[in-house]
């Protein structure tokens, strides 16, 4: 049996739907989603189209499926190129989806905390076109960056990248798994961010606390084509309104809690800074990344020792720990994590 953790900081995907959300989900009116007959799904899609300023949208079970379907639609030929940061989620945690589903090649950029610049991608976009080169078809951005440590793309950098992509006839795709975290931090609306992108999706199962569900949005034609691959990948659903209700509940009740969650992450970061063997990277949202430089213990050791105390963090590699704060984490949990690290420190 897998261990259940008292304090789970592995990922914000590990949030549990609250009793209130569950009760709301129970009341949902439902219909056949694939036939466009589920009123709750349809309501969610209207809300998201309005939020993102897009013409059309479709409800999908996961963020991974949003990335996969969007890439598949935007790439026109096998071998097309997707430009994205070297730390991007679909490169590392989607079972080779870029090659396997989109039939594309990836061009990872050596960005800083998941963020790259227009000048970094310009040489790729302007390369000689010919029958023997892969066409740079999609530029994909993650806001906020996951393995980049929760960094928020500065709007101007994002705008420059997207404008350059469009100038060179590449499409732009926004992996908005945590877009609303950026929105609450910067005050820049989701619509203003989304305006730069041909395809955009948001996720309800991260810090927003829904059990599952994401919405992919774009032009009417884009979503028409997305439906083909949605069916192909088994993403067509039936009485999905129960799930969509969880997403609606999250929009109405949990977006407003994101700022508080970011505050807790920043508070934990401050408490971790005095440990000389941790180098805490800047915290901009709910994700903390820190380098481990301990004479005896590496990141995997810390992960293991904390696990023994019922606390789960994620050692990304030997030198780096990722911690994600979310809806189910309380201030007392933060104190407990710090106390556990003090005990580990003393025991060495
Ligand atoms: C940036 C980013 N994109 C995509 C995904 C995939 O989302 P899902 O777990 O809903 O498939 C994640 C999951 O954590 C993510 O962090």
Distance 30 CA to ligand 1 centre (A): 26
Res. 53: pLDDT tops 90: yes
Question: Biggest alpha carbon distance in the chain?
Answer: 63
Q: Are strands 171-176 and 105-109 parallel, antiparallel or unpaired?
A: unpaired
Spatial distance between the Cα atoms of 213 and 61, rounded to a whole number of angstroms? 5
Residue 62 has what pLDDT?
97
Mean pLDDT of the chain: 96
> Which tokens in the block code for residue 258?
């994101």
Quick check: 165 and 130 in contact, CB under 8 A? no
Q: For 226-244, what is each residue's pLDDT tens digit? A: 999 999 999 999 999 999 9
pLDDT band at 60 (very low <50, low <70, confident <90, very high): very high
pLDDT band at 129 (very low <50, low <70, confident <90, very high): confident
Residue 51 has what pLDDT?
98
Which residue's alpha carbon is at the smallest distance from atom 7 of ligand 1?
63
| 178 CA closest ligand 1 atom index | 1
| 206 CA closest ligand 1 atom index | 14
Res. 3: pLDDT tops 80: no
Q: Domains plus CATH for the chain?
A: 7-13+257-346 (3.90.1150.10), 17-255 (3.40.640.10)
Distance 178 CA to ligand 1 centre (A): 9
Which residue's alpha carbon is at the smallest distance from atom 16 of ligand 1?
146
CA dihedral 255→261→263→268, nearest 10 degrees, is: -170
Strand partners, 324: 287
Pocket of ligand 1 from Cβ distances under 6 Å:
13, 62-64, 67, 89, 142, 146, 175, 177, 203, 205, 214
In 3-state terms the chain splits into helix, strand, coil percentages (rounded to 5) of 45, 20, 40
Q: For 78-93, what is each residue's pLDDT tens digit? A: 999 999 999 999 999 9
Lowest mean pLDDT among 171-175, 203-207, 254-258: 203-207
Global pTM exceeds 0.95:
yes
Residue among 313, 307, 308 at smallest CA distance from 278: 313
Q: For 146-190, what is each residue's pLDDT tens digit? A: 999 999 999 999 999 999 999 999 999 999 999 999 999 999 999
Q: For 259-313, what is each residue's pLDDT tens digit? A: 999 999 999 999 999 999 999 999 999 999 999 999 999 999 999 999 999 999 9
* % of the chain surpassing 70 pLDDT: 100
Residue 1 has what pLDDT?
65
Residue 143 has what pLDDT?
98
Residue 85 has what pLDDT?
98
| 88 CA closest ligand 1 atom index | 1
pLDDT band at 342 (very low <50, low <70, confident <90, very high): very high
| Mutate which of 61, 114, 150, 177 for ligand 1 pocket (most atoms within 8 A of beta carbon) | 177
Res. 138: pLDDT tops 90: yes
Neighbours of 117 (CB within 10 A): 15
């Amino acid at each position: 049996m897998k261990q259940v953790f008292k304090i789970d900081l592995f990922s914000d995907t590990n949030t549990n739907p609250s009793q209130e959300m569950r009760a709301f989900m129970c009341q949902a009116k439902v219909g056949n989603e694939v036939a466009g007959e589920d009123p709750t799904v349809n309501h969610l899609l209207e809300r998201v189209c309005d939020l993102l300023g897009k013409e059309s949208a479709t409800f999908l079970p996961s963020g991974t499926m949003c990335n996969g379907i969007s890439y598949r639609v935007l790439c026109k030929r096998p071998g097309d190129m997707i430009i994205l940061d070297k730390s991007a989620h679909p490169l590392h945690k989607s079972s080779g989806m870029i090659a396997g589903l989109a039939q594309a090649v990836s061009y990872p950029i050596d960005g800083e905390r998941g963020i790259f610049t227009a000048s970094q991608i310009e040489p790729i976009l302007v390369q000689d076109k010919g029958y023997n080169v892969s066409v740079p078809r999609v530029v994909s951005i993650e806001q906020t960056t996951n393995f980049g440590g929760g960094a928020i793309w500065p709007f101007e950098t994002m705008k420059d990248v997207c404008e350059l992509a469009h100038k060179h006839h590449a499409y732009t795709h926004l992996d908005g798994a945590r877009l609303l975290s950026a929105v609450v931090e910067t005050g820049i609306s989701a619509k203003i961010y989304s305006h730069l992108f041909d395809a955009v999706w948001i996720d309800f199962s991260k810090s927003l606390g829904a059990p599952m569900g994401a919405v992919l949005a774009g032009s009417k034609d884009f979503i028409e084509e997305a439906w083909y691959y949605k069916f192909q990948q088994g993403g067509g659903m039936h009485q999905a309104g129960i799930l969509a209700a969880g997403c609606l509940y999250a929009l109405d009740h949990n977006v407003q809690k994101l700022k508080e969650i970011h505050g807790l992450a920043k508070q934990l970061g401050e408490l971790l800074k005095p440990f000389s063997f941790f180098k805490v990277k800047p915290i901009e949202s709910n994700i903390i990344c820190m380098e481990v430089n301990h004479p005896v213990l590496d990141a995997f050791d810390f992960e293991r020792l904390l696990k023994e105390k019922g606390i789960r963090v994620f050692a990304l590699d030997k030198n780096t720990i990722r911690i994600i704060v979310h809806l189910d984490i309380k201030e007392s949990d933060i104190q407990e994590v710090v106390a556990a690290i003090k005990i580990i420190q003393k025991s060495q």
